Amino acid sequence: MAPNEYFDMRNLVLPKGPLRGCPVDGCTAPLGKVPSQWGEMPCCPVHRIQFHAGTRTFAYYNGPDAISKRDAALRNILFERPYFKEHILGNAAKAETHRICHETSEDALTWNVFSRLARGGLLPMLLSKLSPLDVKGEPELYLWGLKISLDDSSVPTLFNPLENARKTFEKGIARFLTEPDIMLYVPGQLLVLVEAKFTSGNTITSSRTTHDLPGEKPKSRDGILKRYAPIFPSNDALLVPPSSGPFYSQLYRNLVFAKHMANKLGIKWGLVNLVSEKQIFKRKHKVEFQDPTEFIHSLLPQKSRNQFTFYSWEQLYADLVTEAQGLDDLTDYMYNKSANCEQALAI
């Protein structure tokens, strides 16, 4: 068995009910148990995966020590692995890299897709799908605020306008500062922020201000509006959000940050919500998985509403991956990607 073995729909079996054994096709190995944040979980010692019976999802598990945990996370990284290992995994500027080992990690999906598109020179084509603006030049790629230069061996730098925006809006917050999943930046022209989702939905606010704790980002509508009160010219201000209906807090913060950073840079801005059509359909009764376009449009004047795009991994696959030459590896990855031991994307 290879030490970096990766599993997807080519070697997984979907059970009809809760997982009773290893989900790898044909495996009958006796199970062990390993600790996790949810308590002890069954683990296959042959394929080195721990799994949750009820949700039918798994995580790579190479062992409890720090090196083994890093190795387990890297099993979920199929593209540009040396760069990811050297510069992203364990980086203090990137939150929660320990979750990379999970089958449903949106960070792993984001890295695999966007690093491969960057290597294939497809970021300009992607940007044309995400923004109605006509821009010239190769966008710079930032993942979780870090500049991704795949052929540069130096430590990736944090996007300076993001650092300044955090100082403006998040002074006193100790953990989990606003961290745009993806940014595409064309100097002098355009900055696009992308909030990426996989099996989780867009975060909505709590109705109670008692959930707002010192040193943390506020969770309530009033707390979000107070802390992230945008500082824009009157002719470019955000509109007052509706008092009823869902308030999408992550998207609101990203919108404020996108406009603030773009204004400081003197360029245009864009905001994208990148989701999975299949995962949304499975959970469409939940507010978190509903189309947030109406909410975003309620914050923007008519002239700038087209700067928000509701886009999907499936659309990205159709628009870029199937049309470009030399992306067979990314085609295989996205087509066979699993979530909860079944095909993740509707492609």
User: In Å, what is the CA distance from 327 to each residue of 4, 79, 106, 139?
Assistant: 22, 12, 20, 20
Neighbouring residues of 205: CB distance < 8 A, sequence distance ≥ 6: 219, 220, 221, 223, 224, 247, 249
This prediction has a pTM of 0.94
For the chain, what is the largest distance between any 2 Cα atoms, rounded to a whole number of angstroms?
Answer: 66
Which residues on neighbouring strands pair with residue 196, listed in sequence order? 274
**Cα–Cα distance for residue pair 161/66, rounded to 1 Å:** 33
Which pLDDT score, from 0 to 100, does residue 94 have?
A: 79
User: What's at 17, amino acid-wise?
Assistant: G
d(CA 186, CA 203): 28
pLDDT of residue 60: 96
Considering only CA atoms, which of 259, 246, 240, 256 is closest in space to residue 298? 240
pLDDT of residue 56: 87
Query: CB 246: neighbour CB atoms within 10 A?
Result: 16
Model pLDDT, residue 3: 53
How does DSSP classify residue 194? E
Say which residue the tokens 């044309």 belong to. Answer: 128
What beta strand segments (E) does 247-303 contain? 268-275
In the numeric block, which tokens belong to residue 64? 């409890």
> So what's the pLDDT on residue 232?
77
Within 173-237, strands assigned E span: 182-186, 190-196
- Token pair 């061996």: residue: 153
Phi, psi of 78, deg, nearest 5 = -100, -20
pLDDT tens for the chain, 347 residues: list them.
455 799 999 999 877 777 788 999 999 999 999 988 778 899 999 999 999 888 889 999 999 999 999 999 999 999 999 999 999 998 887 766 778 999 999 999 999 999 999 999 999 999 999 999 889 889 999 999 999 999 999 999 999 999 999 999 999 998 889 999 999 999 999 999 999 999 999 999 987 777 788 888 999 999 999 999 877 776 678 988 888 899 999 999 999 999 999 999 999 999 999 999 999 999 989 999 999 999 999 999 999 999 999 999 999 999 999 988 899 999 999 999 999 999 999 99
Which string of DSSP letters, residue by residue, matches 68-108?
A: HHHHHHHTT--SSHHHIIIIITT-TTSTTGGGGGBTT-HHH
Of the candidates 288, 299, 277, 273, which has an alpha carbon nearest to the alpha carbon of residue 181? Answer: 273
- pLDDT computed for residue 273 by the predictor: 98
Cα–Cα dist 172/88, whole Å: 25
